[in-house]
Amino acid sequence: MKAYKKILTIQDISCVGQCSLTVALPILSAAGHETCILPSAVLSTHTAGFKGFTFRDLTDDIPEIRKHWEKENIKFDAIYTGYLGSIRQIEYVREIFDTLKKDDAVTFVDPAMADNGKLYPLFDLEYVEEMKKLAFSADYIIPNITEACYLTGREYKEKYDESYIEDLVGALLGSGCGNVILTGVSYDSTTTGVVVANETETKYYRHVKLPRGSHGTGDVYASAFVGAFMSGNSAYESAAIAADYTVKCIENTVDDPDHWYGVKFEPVLPYLIERI
Ligand code: PXL
């Protein structure tokens, strides 16, 4: 019997778009965990490609929800955060980290705020500063290279070598992150991979690079990583399982040009369950 954990995930509900909570909830459930959710905002769609999306910020609800859970003595084995809706909200999430963790709980922060060298539409450098406080306090941080650059003040480069990545990872570890899972690290045109690092060792999991990038794969990856890790796999095994699963999700989507906004992750869930 795999570990059955109580996980809280805090991120937005993009009603359409296969990202954030509509990805995290099914993936963590499929991984075999009780999955509690705290929606950071409700959007009609995600912000990467749809125009005129609605955005309902739920920041003001969070302190009351936290207080209620505290009164009910509800605590979590893991807290995993993704896209957060406002600067004040990040502060409230830090209070949740401080008050709702079980003694041996693990925290995971996917600083979902940027990609391809740019911040997502609703964010600015003030948001980045607040995200640093949350990210640097996490047991596991799961950024892509763009997010790692914003968090460390390093220049974003499309082409780089191993020493650039070593410096980036070293800067994240030096800022307080216990473990770094850096995604989308590619040294050639046919492969990409994930760096898994802590103070004592750094490993690289290399896998095939598919010609088409897809929206929402960061959320699929982070959710699969958290699910695999909380089931008892090591960080490196979890990073590999999540990478292989994400590749399969993209493979399952690339031949459908209409499905540009996310990946068809659902039919591939049996593969993830089998691997976990
Ligand atoms: O996949 C990250 C993400 C999550 N939530 C919202 C987004 C994005 C990426 O653009 O817009 C609302």
- Write down the pLDDT at residue 2: 81
24 part of a folded domain: yes
Q: Which of the four pLDDT bands, split at 50, 70 and 90, describes residue 146? A: very high
Q: Which atom of ligand 1 is nearest to the CA of 82?
A: 4
Q: Is it the case that residue 213 has pLDDT exceeding 80?
A: no
Q: pLDDT for 82-122, tens place per residue?
A: 999 999 999 999 999 999 999 999 999 999 999 999 999 88
Report, as an integer, the average pLDDT of 68-76: 98
Residue 130, domain extent: 6-275
Count of domains observed in the chain:
1
- Write down the pLDDT at residue 1: 57
168 part of a folded domain: yes
For the domain that residue 213 is a member of, what is the CATH number?
Answer: 3.40.1190.20
Lining residues, ligand 1, CB within 6 Å: 12, 14, 19-20, 43, 46-48, 83, 112, 120, 216, 218-219
1 part of a folded domain: no
- Take atom 12 of ligand 1 and give the residue whose Cα is closest: 46
109 part of a folded domain: yes
- Take atom 10 of ligand 1 and give the residue whose Cα is closest: 48
Secondary structure of the chain in the HEC alphabet?
CCCCCEEEEEEEEEEECCCCHHHHHHHHHHCCCEEEEEEEEEEEECCCCCCCCCEEECHHHHHHHHHHHHHCCCCEEEEEECCCCCHHHHHHHHHHHHHCEEEEEEEEECCCCEECCEECCCCCHHHHHHHHHHHCCCCEECCEHHHHHHHHCCCCCCCCCHHHHHHHHHHHHHCCCCEEEEECCCCCCCEEEEEEEECCCEEEEEEECCCCCCCCHHHHHHHHHHHHHHCCCCHHHHHHHHHHHHHHHHHCCCCCCCCCCCCCCHHHHHHHHHHC
